């Protein structure tokens, strides 16, 4: 009986924590750094020659390394198909971008990129998977800086 009560307490605590995370509003602004892993045809860049399958494998490997705490900036330098340092400041929906900070509106970014970026805690790492509609340039490994 005591074990059952303890288990119930653990489940209720976990459910309360999950509800708190789900109810947490998104931030008004974020700063993120990202690694874009593109594949042939996803960018107008003839230097990108890897297949879509190879890009997915590489992106998943880099994502695991980033989650394990490997130097993110060094991985950006090595792997990104975007320009280094790959840092973007974004304002959320219905928040006016601050031009003096070279901030972009979330609505002007690829949907998957914005969705992952605004869902991360500071220091968190996420992955926007390739999707022709939501993340058309490839896979984005994203770390929230601010």
Residue corresponding to tokens 């074990």 = 3
Q: Is residue 37 part of a domain?
A: yes
Q: Is residue 32 part of a domain?
A: yes
Read off the pLDDT of residues 91-100 as tens digits, 9 standing for 90 and up.
999 999 999 9
Q: Is residue 4 part of a domain?
A: no
Question: In Å, how far are 18, 31, 48, 118, 145 from 121, measured between CA atoms?
Answer: 15, 11, 31, 8, 9
**pLDDT score of 62 more than 80:** yes
Lowest mean pLDDT among 7-11, 31-35, 39-43, 139-143: 7-11
d(CA 8, CA 16) in angstroms, rounded, equals 12
Please answer whether residues 142 and 127 qualify as being in contact, where contact means their C-beta atoms are separated by less than 8 angstroms.
Answer: yes
Question: What b-and-e string marks burial along 60-92, b requiring 16 or more CB atoms within 10 Å of the CB?
Answer: eebbebbeeeeebeebbeebbbbeeebbbbbbb
Q: What CATH number corresponds to the domain at position 115? A: 3.10.50.40
Instruction: Indicate the pTM of the whole model.
Output: 0.83
Does residue 81 have a cis peptide bond before it, meaning omega lies within 30 degrees of 0? Answer: no
- The count of domains in the chain is 1
pLDDT of residue 18: 41
Residue 87's contacts (CB-CB under 8 Å, 6 or more residues apart) are 31, 32, 33, 145
Q: Is residue 18 part of a domain?
A: no
Report, as an integer, the average pLDDT of 73-96: 97
Q: Is residue 125 part of a domain?
A: yes
Sign of the torsion formed by the C-alpha atoms of 130, 59, 126 and 12: positive
Q: Is residue 94 part of a domain?
A: yes
Report, as an integer, the average pLDDT of 109-117: 96
**pLDDT score of 6 more than 60:** no
**pLDDT score of 12 more than 80:** no
Q: Is residue 93 part of a domain?
A: yes
Of 138, 140, 135, 111, residue with least CA distance to 125: 140
Domain that holds residue 123: 26-144
């Amino acid at each position: 009986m005591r074990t059952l009560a303890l288990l119930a307490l653990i489940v209720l605590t976990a459910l309360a924590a999950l509800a708190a995370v789900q109810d947490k509003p998104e931030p008004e602004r974020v700063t993120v750094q990202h690694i874009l892993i593109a594949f042939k045809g996803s960018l107008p860049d003839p230097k990108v020659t890897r297949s879509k399958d190879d890009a997915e494998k590489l992106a998943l490997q880099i994502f695991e390394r980033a989650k394990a705490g490997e130097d993110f900036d060094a991985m950006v330098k090595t792997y990104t198909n975007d320009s280094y340092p790959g840092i973007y400041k974004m304002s959320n929906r219905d928040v006016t971008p601050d031009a003096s900070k070279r901030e972009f509106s979330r609505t002007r970014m690829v949907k998957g990129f914005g969705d992952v970026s605004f869902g991360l805690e500071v220091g968190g790492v996420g992955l926007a998977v390739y999707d022709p509609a939501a993340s058309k340039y490839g896979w984005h490994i994203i770390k929230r800086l601010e």
